[in-house]
Copies of this chain bind each other. A is one copy, B any other.
Amino acid sequence: MIKCAKCRQIDFVQKSGIVRGKQRYFCKACDYHFTLPEAVENRKNKPRHQVTIIDIANELGISKSTVSRALRGHTDIHEGTRKMILDLAQQLEYQPNPLANALLKSRTNIVGILVPEFRHYFFPTVIMGAQEILSKAGYNVMICQSDESYDTEVANVKALMNSRVDGLLVSVTTQTNNVDHFRTVLRKEVPLVFFNRVCPELDTPQVIVDDYAGAFQAVEHLVQQGYRRIAHLAGPVSLLVSRLRMKGYLDALQKHGLPVDNELIIHYDLTEEKARIYANYLLSLPQPPDAIFAINDPTAIEIMLVAKSRGVKIPQELGIVGFSNDPISAIIEPPLTTVEQPVWEMGRQAARILLEQMENPRIETYQLPTRLVVRGSSVNC
């Protein structure tokens, strides 16, 4: 028979249903429900137990508060006690559990970085710059890439927010027109800094280079080299960089009295295939351009390859200027004239502003300088 778990009697015990597959009993004497306890086997299989502050406290016969104080370098503790704790902690290879801390303080010490891609030179380098600053400030970095897809971007922002990052460094995709997902970030008061591909409609810091001046210089250079029919393979209108570089292009043409031919202006989505298609299109026009200003270096290089394959001589028949000064630009034949921008520094700057943003929020746009680097692809001599 079954003995009551409380009064140890057996006479008043009766069955009382099954709960989670186990028979349950009821003792009428002491009005008590119970089930038979499991065998002791399959409990207590905690595999790896990280050494905690409590282990140290127990070992030393003191309280966890005291251990915490010693470890945190707090005052209010005896020098001898502290040393004792510190020694044992070292011996036990104690590692504080950042999860507990994060849960308590709602701070993860993780910064999320979201970029559209990192196949090319630009974004990896920005990331390295940002990482340099952030890791120095004690932050880890979680990197996501949206792959130029708006949906992926939204999903990534969600995932990053869900991971409770302490801040966000973002460069948007070419598809990003709706920015509600970033408004959510701002609403939850998570510091957010845009770089390169920014969102001027949002009240949060932005780090860009002087795209206008860079583009203006580049196109003016082409004019001065004698090119007259200058095309612009531009980025999507959705991106501010595209618009600014476009404006530089247009103003440079205007300044030198050159007509604007809309046939020579193409916005595209920055994919390799499209770059090739449009380069071919431009070069097969009845009146093809004699120079092309490309939104960035990868685009410029695609154009160069297309031109080469068509037997178009660079720079004699076609001048080309890029933007960003990727290392490959100096290597390719002929070397590419391009607008240099401080890529690494952009990452550092964005990170610095993010850190500052955590202290005292301030909305500002930071602009870094550009510089024209003249190489063989545009020197028509």
Contacts and interface: CB of A to CB of B under 8 A. Distances in A.
Contacts of A96: 162
Contacts of A128: 118-119, 145
A328 interface: yes
Contacts of A95: 161-162
Given A125-B119, A189-B47, A331-B332, A140 B164 contact: no
Given A119-B124, A333-B332, A106 B50 contact: yes
- What is the total number of copies of this protein in its complex? 2
Contacts of A119: 121, 124-125, 128
B140 A159 contact: yes
B99 A108 contact: yes
Contacts of A328: 328, 331
Chain A interface SS verdict (over half): mixed
Interface residues of A, number: 42
Interface string A227-244: 000000000000000000
A3 B184 CA distance: 50
Contacts of A121: 119
A331 B127 CA distance: 25
A107 to B, nearest CB: 10
Interface in A112-140: 118-119, 121, 124-125, 127-128, 131, 135, 140
10 contacts: A47-B189, A50-B106, A95-B162, A99-B108, A100-B103, A128-B145, A141-B143, A141-B144, A305-B331, A332-B333
Q: Which 7 A-B pairs have the closest CB atoms?
A: A333-B333, A99-B103, A118-B124, A99-B102, A143-B143, A48-B189, A103-B103
Interface of A: 47-48, 50, 95-100, 102-103, 106, 108, 110, 118-119, 121, 124-125, 127-128, 131, 135, 140-145, 159, 161-164, 188-189, 301, 305, 328, 331-333
